[in-house]
């Protein structure tokens, strides 16, 4: 077992139509102490996620029966599991489509299996939004950020955010007068152990802004050369 990885950290579903690759990844994850399941088609992945409730899904894009983007969309209808998307190197459109569908992170092929195991460990160590029960909901005009309910409401209507999008909103709304750098947001939402391209923050912020309203800058300001700040109008 690898030091620093909690054997009770969680269950991982590995989805890839290349069975030898899926089995190799599963073997490494099992050795690291995780409870591992595999699936090789899109429909099987959705069914396994529904019945087995994994904590993390390692999801390839190219799957028979249903591609990884559609699998991710369907997962988001009933699960808040972490989704680590496997994409082709340099295929920016796939990365953006995966994140738009609700993936939390991505890793490009070809990849080191040890790196993937480390990424799974990092995402499972990722801190979740902590809530002080007595804390009132945070109000920004017609936007309410309710940490206790883990919900954002605009004009009284719930905004359908992914877990990552809500965590970014919680981080920003917790420091409404402070500009937070991408690294600060990564440390808060993904955790200090996360490594990768910090443009991931920009993509999730873009999705968050679109879901919050027609005006992309109404609630979240871009602070040039720094990062982002909750807008105070």
Per-residue pLDDT tens over the stretch 217-228 = 688 999 998 999
CA angle 83, 85, 88 (to 5 degrees): 175
The reply to whether 39 and 120 lie within a common domain is: yes
Q: In this predicted model, which residue has the larger pLDDT, 124 or 67?
A: 67
Has residue 88 been placed in a domain? yes
Check which CATH number belongs to the domain holding 43 and give it: 3.40.50.2300
pLDDT of residue 184: 93
The reply to whether 143 and 68 lie within a common domain is: no
The reply to whether 104 and 46 lie within a common domain is: yes
Give the residue from 52, 218, 224, 43 showing the smallest Cα distance to 142: 218
Reported as type and span, the H/E element at residue 42 is helix 42-52
Q: How confident is the model at residue 134 (pLDDT cuts 50, 70, 90)?
A: low
pLDDT of residue 123: 79
The answer to whether residue 231 scores a pLDDT higher than 90 is no
The answer to whether residue 65 scores a pLDDT higher than 70 is yes
Query: In the chain, at which residue ranges do the beta strands (DSSP E only) sit?
Result: 11-15, 35-39, 56-60, 82-88, 105-109, 138-140, 143-146, 151-154, 157-159, 180-181, 220-223, 227-230
Whether the full predicted model's pTM is greater than 0.75, yes or no, is: no
User: Cα Rg for the chain, rounded, in angstroms?
Assistant: 18
The reply to whether 151 and 60 lie within a common domain is: no
Which one of 57, 90, 124 terminates a domain? 124
The reply to whether 152 and 195 lie within a common domain is: yes
Has residue 189 been placed in a domain? yes
Has residue 3 been placed in a domain? no
Has residue 129 been placed in a domain? no
Positive/negative CA dihedral, 154, 160, 161, 163: positive
Has residue 133 been placed in a domain? no
The reply to whether 63 and 87 lie within a common domain is: yes
pLDDT of residue 5: 43
Q: Report the domain count for the chain.
A: 2
Which one of 92, 124, 156 terminates a domain? 124
The reply to whether 172 and 215 lie within a common domain is: yes
Has residue 131 been placed in a domain? no
Q: In this predicted model, which residue has the larger pLDDT, 123 or 131?
A: 123
Has residue 44 been placed in a domain? yes
Q: Which domain holds residue 38?
A: 11-124
Q: In this predicted model, which residue has the larger pLDDT, 97 or 211?
A: 211
Q: In this predicted model, which residue has the larger pLDDT, 214 or 115?
A: 115
The reply to whether 158 and 218 lie within a common domain is: yes
Instruction: State how far the Cα of 181 lies from the Cα of 201, in Å rounded to an integer.
Output: 10
Has residue 1 been placed in a domain? no
């Amino acid at each position: 077992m690898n030091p620093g990885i909690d054997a009770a950290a969680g269950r991982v579903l590995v989805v890839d139509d290349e069975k030898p690759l899926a089995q190799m990844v599963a073997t490494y994850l099992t050795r690291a102490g995780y409870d591992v399941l595999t699936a090789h088609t899109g429909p099987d992945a959705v069914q396994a996620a529904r019945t087995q409730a994994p904590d993390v899904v390692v999801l390839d894009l190219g799957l028979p029966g249903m591609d990884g983007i559609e699998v991710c969309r369907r997962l988001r209808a009933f699960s808040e599991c972490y989704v680590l998307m496997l994409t082709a190197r340099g295929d920016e459109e796939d990365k953006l489509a995966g994140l738009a569908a609700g993936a939390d992170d991505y890793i490009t092929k070809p990849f080191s299996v040890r790196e993937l195991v480390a990424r799974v460990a990092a995402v499972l160590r990722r801190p979740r939004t902590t809530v002080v029960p007595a804390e009132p909901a945070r109000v920004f005009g017609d936007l309410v950020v309710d940490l206790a309910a883990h919900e954002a409401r605009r004009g009284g209507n719930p905004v359908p955010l992914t877990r990552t999008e809500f965590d970014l909103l919680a981080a920003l709304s917790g420091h409404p007068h402070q500009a937070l750098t991408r690294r600060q947001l990564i440390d808060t939402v993904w955790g200090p152990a996360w490594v990768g391209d910090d443009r991931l923050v920009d993509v999730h912020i873009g999705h968050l802004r679109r879901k919050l309203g027609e005006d992309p800058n109404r609630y979240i300001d871009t602070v040039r050369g720094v990062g982002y700040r909750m807008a105070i109008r």
